[in-house]
């Protein structure tokens, strides 16, 4: 479904080339100071910088707070945030109707929804919707900073690798040189976590974070701590020996989560982002109209490397998960006094 | 929470050294033929064979169907399955009370539950509970086989690598030689899937499967299709070109999921299993009683490589997710006539 | 929470005197033809006619479909409907800030949300939000009409009694004569229901309908079939004898629900609506500012009898419940072909 | 579904004449002292006394705690409680297979589950399952008593009327004299509630309580405060004027709930219980085998007035709702220190 979270619960909606995208958030504690300005930095970060790798489509992306805020603070009622879609050139997509783009949801969406899907620019499946996640993430991150018991939880996500290169410029240049797109690896670290977040048996921290993370378009894998490398380690080598009564450990191979529960170490995980499905290079696909294999290349506005936009989105969904768990654990109050 | 699923919904309970472990399943279609014998093969598979890598603890592991079955068929009412714990030697664990085992949930569980946790053998965090998942999986897999529209969906999970070796015996021997434990990589493939399973935005197939998979103890990562390798590929290289009106593709780098939705290709994903936390080798940890760093080694019954037991558990949680999505998509009926 | 439903799931938001009220609906089948015009009749009905009993506040109340509709049909993606609040006179309410109105949520909302609530006109607790329910109800009622298996389910709600009088004009006149407000009894009947809606143990049809009904402001009671009168009947008198293989019964004291499950008889239930809390008559309440018992009377726009507006809202929430159950029972498909 | 609650979440299972009935409870705070003895008083109360009105079936009804308790306290893991069915005479029911009993779920269950339902004694629809609710209620009531912020919340439910008589013996005698069954009215009062329980828009206190209450077999109506009588009152008459800064009111017509939120007044509501469907008197129903209208009378063990057993069940579901809301409001902690 289009909802996620148990107490801090988001509902996402909208289409790439419809009127708007947006998000409705229930369960936000009352009393959190909030203004449009608070969203701007993260929304700008999502644009992926001005590098060669990001799409020239420039939405104004001003969040409109439709409900749930009064006198500059959250009221405890659900908050709905809209982003109007102003800069739409649907013509780019309409002509591609008969040619389901490989790597995109075009084909499966058409079958799933019986030919009723909004196919323009991926419709509801578009990466455009991540702007709404970012907005929810802004609120979630502010709540983590003001949390009474866990205090000062900070999330920071960075790109580790682009196109197989740790020198990111070099990785992007590969895409440019090949007139193609590239993928990347993004890491997320969380500091200041309390012990005890995560619920057995099915709501381990890894379960909830991976659930949210795979909602981000183009994610193909996730690993915590030493991740896949763990499979090649010995037990004593992998185990993080506890060194004192606080639970601090000598190493952090677990990435801050043991038995599905945070142990107050830094939480560390990485995700794999596939190369952007839309590339300038010629591709083959089936043409519904002509019933033949067709060739096409994307002329429209697209990212050479979607991974460049991912860090702020990854922070957002991580923050959403953590806030939800902290509300459940009563580590964030239902009314903020700040 | 200890529940998972929207229509086919499981609730797991029990402790390693308590009276029993079990699972309650709501939303099973009525009319599915079911007997105790149907569970035995998978329960046996979970024991991981008679190889050197698996624990000598031998539970009888006969499922007791407490409700929801009448005249050999499911009734539509919730089905509760119990496994009594007969073969318990709690003494092994009681003496370790003051020494939270690294890699286990001992420390975090103690803090999270305010010293009230059942600490014996990991209590509710124990791998013992996976026998209940396997039981739910048996039912889910039978439903996939009898599904009216998707028909004949088959899940098969295998071990790809143990201790970094594709020769599994060789990997296990590493553990024996080092008096330590090793991890592994397990793959899962699903054939016969229809197009259209998975729900935007948050219930992508990958989201739901990874959510369930990270409930399995010792999982550290998951990747779909080409997974982490995708991050090093070019767009045209990674994209699976569609070749005909059925949606069949020339390649299957996506692992059968595009835009979070199944595309009828074989679904493929892999998970990383860390080495068993309990190893015969000496380890260090903090001792709550003496307030010093202590050394200990596990004398009890434990697996050298927990990955050996994982395939059937992985099949189980995968089947649970797919059945739930197929009930939602009305591809499995609410009443089975078989 | 502000969400209701398992598959057809609504999320309501907005405040009486904020920017807007609205509703986000997830799980609508794809392919349902839908336009703004489809909403107008029910939105008009909610205004309660032009009688003396209804408030002169006249919102334009044009629904704005922000997402989920493409080419005049639902897409399967979430549909968000906005109603902008144009006709606001907050001044009426600001001066009442210190005087929590008896019968309204003013006092409890202030305490619950730590003085952060939007207090203007009841804010998120306002009956204004029922316009969003009505919009969701329009969609739900259309789905009931197009349902493939249940076919032609029709909901009709009427006022039985106003101010204790079955002659409704007479009841309203009582309010006018007393310069006070009055309550009423509203009945709802549903025809064409299939056998089998409702889920044991907790999702009986009565459970779900009453859950939704008590979300409507001013509802104080609900009864099914012979309801409270049942408590005075003998068993054989109350039981509806089954007369043929279709399950038809000689009487319908149960109101169409037996064991929490629909039996294909007409479903019948009634709700009690309290008199409008805001009345022109002088009332007493505590004044936070002066710390004394204060007197006040409502000068603003208010309904003499809120029950006049309830029938269409009652139909709406009833339809929402039934659609959700029919989707679960696979009696409404996930894609509509109409 | 067979689950209820958001944090304190119960899952009920079992059949009247199957092996057992039981309940699985997730989200119980850790550290609550609990023994089998704690359940006995309420389980005894559910038997309805030794009066003429209650069935002679005497189950031992000893709760078996299968998980979630260790060293006499809850652990934070899910608690499963079983009641074995020892005293079963299925023969009584098997011969009635062809004669769906009016007022019972026999007919609808048969259709809903495609002839796979456990029909013995109502199977999963039986009032027998309320023993499991009572067990969950015992835990919930203990949590209300130990709640840190709300402190000392007490629930008390009583019978107001049997067979239309406030003299209960007289009401029961009517049933005896008529060789029939009678219904009743049961009231529930809750004292010590804090301000602020209940969540707009859909989780008003009335919504949640009525949802749970209609899961109790034989309930036909519910009303809060002055309830249906409210519909005949004037606004100023019904409104409870606030008299001081604590929110105390001069009257309590609202029954302690305003705008769906508790206002710290005594909560008061009443439910209508229909006469027991099984009566000694001859009834008519359709016979599936002979395809004719058949006559039958119940010879087995049945209650003349099921309402006699309801008060403790009503307390149980009310307590479940309140605990769930208090956990959400962080008024009951996740770890109890007692």
Taking 70 as the pLDDT cut, the residues of chain D under it are 50-59, 87-95, 148-151, 300-301, 338
Is residue C155 within 8 Å of C312, Cβ to Cβ? no
pLDDT digits (tens, 9 = 90+) for D149-179: 556 899 999 999 999 999 999 999 999 999 9
Residue A245: its chain B contacts at CB < 8 A? 286, 288, 291
Q: How many other CB atoms are found less than 10 A from the CB of residue B189?
A: 18
CA gap C7, B18 in Å, rounded: 37
pLDDT of residue C299: 72
CA gap D167, B39 in Å, rounded: 56
Neighbours of chain D (3+ CB pairs under 8 A): A, B, C
pLDDT of residue D74: 98
Dihedral, B322, B323, B328, B332 alpha carbons, nearest 10: 130
Any idea which residue has 């009905």 for tokens?
C45
Is residue C24 predicted with pLDDT exceeding 90?
yes
Average pLDDT over residues C285-301: 84
In Å, how far is D278's CA from the nearest CA of chain C?
A: 7
* A74 contacts C30? CB cut-off 8 A: no
* A20 contacts C70? CB cut-off 8 A: no
**In the numeric block, which tokens belong to residue A123?**
């419709």
* C102 contacts D239? CB cut-off 8 A: yes
* A328 contacts D330? CB cut-off 8 A: no
Is the previous residue joined to C201 through a cis bond, with omega within 30 degrees of 0?
A: yes
pLDDT of residue A98: 84
D260–chain B Cβ distance below 8 A for any pair: no
Of D7, D200, D329, the CB nearest to A328: D7
CA gap D258, C265 in Å, rounded: 35
D316–chain B Cβ distance below 8 A for any pair: no
Find, among A188, A215, A210, A184, the residue nearest to A307 by Cα.
A184
Is residue B151 predicted with pLDDT exceeding 80?
no
Neighbours of chain C (3+ CB pairs under 8 A): A, B, D
pLDDT of residue C84: 94
Residue D6: its chain A contacts at CB < 8 A? 6
Is residue B235 within 8 Å of A275, Cβ to Cβ? yes
Residue B112: its chain A contacts at CB < 8 A? 195-196, 261
* B223 contacts A273? CB cut-off 8 A: no
Find, among C58, C56, C26, the residue nearest to C43 by Cα.
C58
The number of helix segments (H) and strand segments (E) in chain D equals 8, 15
CA gap D26, B12 in Å, rounded: 9
pLDDT of residue A91: 64
C240–chain D Cβ distance below 8 A for any pair: yes
Residue A329: its chain D contacts at CB < 8 A? 334
Residue C240: its chain D contacts at CB < 8 A? 102-103
pLDDT of residue D95: 64
C36–chain A Cβ distance below 8 A for any pair: no
A294–chain B Cβ distance below 8 A for any pair: no
pLDDT of residue C146: 85
Is residue C267 predicted with pLDDT exceeding 70?
yes
In Å, how far is D65's CA from the nearest CA of chain B?
A: 9
* B329 contacts C334? CB cut-off 8 A: yes
This complex has an ipTM of 0.96
Q: What is the DSSP letter of C196?
A: T
Q: Report helix, strand or coil for C17.
A: coil
A11 φ, ψ to 5°? Answer: -130, 115
Q: State the Cα angle at C110 between A39 and C125, rounded to 5°.
A: 80
Task: Please report, in tens digits, the pLDDT of each residue of chain A (338 residues total).
Answer: 999 999 999 999 999 999 999 999 999 999 999 999 999 999 999 998 765 666 655 657 899 999 999 999 999 999 999 999 986 665 666 667 788 999 999 999 999 999 999 999 899 999 999 999 999 999 999 999 987 555 689 999 999 999 999 999 999 999 999 999 999 999 999 999 999 999 999 999 999 999 999 999 999 999 999 999 999 999 999 999 999 999 899 999 999 999 999 999 999 999 999 999 999 898 988 998 899 998 888 776 678 999 999 999 999 999 999 999 999 999 999 999 85
Q: State the Cα angle at C136 between C131 and C141, rounded to 5°.
A: 120
Q: Which of residues 192-221 of B touch A (CB under 8 A)?
A: 195-196, 199-204, 206-208, 210-215, 217, 219-221
Residue C68: its chain A contacts at CB < 8 A? 13, 15, 124
Percent of chain C beyond pLDDT 90?
Answer: 81
C261–chain B Cβ distance below 8 A for any pair: no
Is residue B204 predicted with pLDDT exceeding 90?
yes
A-B Cβ pairs (cutoff 8 Å, strict): 343
Q: Which of residues 124-163 of D touch C (CB under 8 A)?
A: 124-125, 129, 161, 163
Is residue A139 within 8 Å of A28, Cβ to Cβ? yes
In Å, how far is B227's CA from the nearest CA of chain C?
A: 27
Secondary structure of D58-111 in HEC code, one letter for each residue: CCCCCCEEEECEECCEECCCCEEEEEECCCCCCHHHHCCCCCCCCCCCHHHHHH
Q: Which of residues 46-105 of B touch C (CB under 8 A)?
A: 77
């Amino acid at each position: 479904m289009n909802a996620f979270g148990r107490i801090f619960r988001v509902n996402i909606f909208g289409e790439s080339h419809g009127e708007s995208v947006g998000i409705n958030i229930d369960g936000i504690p009352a009393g959190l100071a909030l203004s449009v300005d608070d969203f701007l930095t993260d929304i700008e970060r999502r644009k992926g910088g001005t590098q060669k790798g990001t799409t020239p489509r420039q939405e104004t992306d001003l969040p409109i707070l439709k409900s749930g805020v009064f006198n500059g603070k959250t009221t405890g009622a659900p908050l709905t945030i809209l982003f109007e879609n102003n800069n739409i050139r649907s013509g780019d997509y309409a002509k591609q109707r008969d040619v389901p783009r490989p790597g995109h949801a075009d084909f499966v969406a058409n079958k799933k929804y019986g030919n009723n899907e909004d196919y323009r620019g991926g419709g509801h499946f578009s990466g455009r919707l991540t702007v709404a996640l970012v907005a929810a993430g802004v609120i979630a991150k502010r709540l983590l900073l003001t949390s009474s018991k866990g205090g000062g939880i900070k999330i920071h996500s960075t790109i580790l690798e682009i196109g197989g290169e740790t020198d990111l410029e070099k990785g992007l240049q590969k895409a440019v040189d090949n007139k193609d797109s590239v993928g990347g690896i993004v890491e997320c670290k969380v500091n200041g976590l309390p012990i005890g977040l995560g619920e057995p048996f099915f709501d381990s921290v890894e379960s909830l974070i991976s659930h949210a993370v795979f909602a981000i378009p183009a994610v193909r894998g996730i690993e915590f701590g030493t991740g896949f490398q763990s499979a090649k380690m010995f037990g004593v080598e992998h185990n993080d020996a506890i060194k004192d009564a606080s639970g601090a450990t000598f190493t952090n191979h677990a990435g801050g989560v043991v038995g599905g529960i945070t142990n107050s170490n830094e939480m560390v995980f990485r995700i794999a982002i596939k190369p952007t499905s839309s590339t300038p290079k010629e591709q083959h696909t089936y043409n519904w109209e002509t019933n033949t294999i067709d060739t096409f290349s994307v002329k429209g506005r697209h990212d050479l490397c979607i991974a460049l936009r991912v860090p702020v989105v990854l922070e957002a969904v991580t923050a959403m998960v953590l806030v939800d768990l902290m509300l459940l654990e009563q580590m964030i109050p239902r009314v903020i006094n700040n």
